[in-house]
Homo-oligomer: A and B are copies of this chain.
Amino acid sequence: MKFQKILSIGIAENKLEPKYWERLDKLTEQRVMLSQDSPEIKIQISNADCLLINPFVFKVNKELIDVAPSLKFIGVLATGFGVVDHEYAATKDITVCNIPGYATESVAELAIAILLEYTRDIEYAKQLARKGNYSDVPRVPVYEIKAKKLGIIGTGRIGSRVAEISLALGAEVFYWSINKKPELEAKGVIYQEVEKIISECDFVSLHLALNKDTEGFMNETFINKMKSGAILLNLSPNELVDFNALEKRLAKGDLIYIADHTDEMTPEQIKQLSQYKDFIPYPPIGYQTVEATALKQEIFVGNIENFLKGEPTNKVN
């Protein structure tokens, strides 16, 4: 089975390697690429049976679905699919698929990488060695992960992997999640109330999805409960953390905040936090590995192939 017409919107040529575009071409009679601003969208979608979108630049609402009577499949080139009215799509028998988990390992490895970078003062050590200085280390007490209390908040794919790797590093690993995870507990990860994790752990790593319940999750009370000298690690959306409370605590000089979604902050926010030595910002590099980039494309195209075979994968509606 083939599609009559695959329409892609907002997906630049270089977002997929040539071999994936070729695989897509085998799945359709016709393939049309439009930018998110194209005036042709409504005309082109009227007879498309497959729509592929870049959700960071294009939304799919009821109105659009209503002018796409042939549509059977919407492929979202990301994990998040909130910009697609997937419930309405379901009422029209349109399958919506996303790309979950493609960066699980990459993000989990980055969490460990930047935690160890901090605990061992790696950047400073590298700089000294390049100057031929082998004496002036350590400049601050550096320490082991082993035997420290490490708390994971949110045990989806990424949080669970960070928990497993931390166990191997010899940390005492705790988790809090809406649903208990017997499979993690069997490995030695201990369930604990979120307040207790926040107030007792040396390292707290946030792995929650962003939604209306989790926005500002790390509120003033929680931030102030963290131990003196503790590290708050955030490779999840920046909006999980209350900015003002964070700034106040950083000003006290006894909490370290390491985060990689700092591109989501305003330039003013970045400037404010950058006053504090304990704010350790990273670019959003969690998913930027060779492996995650390949897996993302593979799952994206695989979803379409599997739908045509009648065995849809990663259907969200």
- Using known A-B contacts A116-B112, A123-B126, A164-B168, determine if residue A144 contacts B106 with beta carbons closer than 8 Å: yes
Q: Which residue of B lies closest to A274 (CB)?
A: B130
Distance of A167 Cα from B169 Cα, bound (Å) = 11
**What residues of chain A have their CB less than 8 Å away from a CB belonging to chain B?**
105-106, 109-110, 112-114, 116-117, 119-120, 122-123, 125-126, 128-130, 132-135, 137-138, 141-147, 164-165, 167-170, 262-263, 267, 270, 274, 280-285, 288-292
Q: Which residue of B lies closest to A263 (CB)?
A: B134
**Residues in B neighbouring A284, C-beta threshold 8 A:** 134
Q: Are B120 and A110 in contact (CB under 8 A)?
A: yes
Q: Are A122 and B125 in contact (CB under 8 A)?
A: no
Q: Are A137 and B291 in contact (CB under 8 A)?
A: no
Q: Are A113 and B109 in contact (CB under 8 A)?
A: no
What's the nearest-Cβ distance from chain B to residue A122, in Å? Answer: 5
What's the nearest-Cβ distance from chain B to residue A116, in Å? Answer: 4
Q: Are B109 and A114 in contact (CB under 8 A)?
A: no
**Residues in B neighbouring A291, C-beta threshold 8 A:** 143-144, 146-147
The one of B168, B262, B290 that contacts A142, using a Cβ cutoff of 8 Å: B290
- Using known A-B contacts A142-B288, A281-B130, determine if residue A116 contacts B120 with beta carbons closer than 8 Å: no
Q: Give the number of times this chain occurs in the complex, counting copies.
A: 2
**Residues in B neighbouring A105, C-beta threshold 8 A:** 144, 146, 170
Q: Which residue of B lies closest to A168 (CB)?
A: B168
A126-B280, A135-B283 are known contacts; what are 18 more A-B pairs with Cβ within 8 Å?
A: A109-B144, A109-B146, A110-B116, A113-B120, A113-B122, A117-B117, A120-B289, A125-B283, A126-B281, A128-B283, A134-B262, A141-B290, A143-B290, A143-B291, A144-B291, A165-B168, A165-B169, A168-B168
Q: Are A138 and B170 in contact (CB under 8 A)?
A: no
19 A/B residue pairs, CB under 8 Å, sorted by A: A105-B144, A109-B146, A110-B116, A110-B120, A113-B117, A113-B119, A113-B120, A116-B116, A120-B289, A123-B126, A125-B283, A132-B270, A133-B283, A135-B283, A137-B283, A137-B288, A142-B290, A143-B291, A147-B291
Q: Are B144 and A289 in contact (CB under 8 A)?
A: yes
What's the nearest-Cβ distance from chain B to residue A30, in Å? Answer: 34
Q: Are A288 and B138 in contact (CB under 8 A)?
A: yes
Q: Which residue of B lies closest to A116 (CB)?
A: B113
**Residues in B neighbouring A263, C-beta threshold 8 A:** 134
Q: Which residue of B lies closest to A128 (CB)?
A: B283
**Residues in B neighbouring A141, C-beta threshold 8 A:** 289-290
The one of B110, B165, B282 that contacts A129, using a Cβ cutoff of 8 Å: B282
Distance of A180 Cα from B117 Cα, bound (Å) = 33
The one of B117, B132, B142 that contacts A285, using a Cβ cutoff of 8 Å: B142
Distance of A119 Cα from B117 Cα, bound (Å) = 13
Distance of A292 Cα from B169 Cα, bound (Å) = 15
The one of B109, B132, B144, B281 that contacts A116, using a Cβ cutoff of 8 Å: B109
Distance of A167 Cα from B130 Cα, bound (Å) = 31
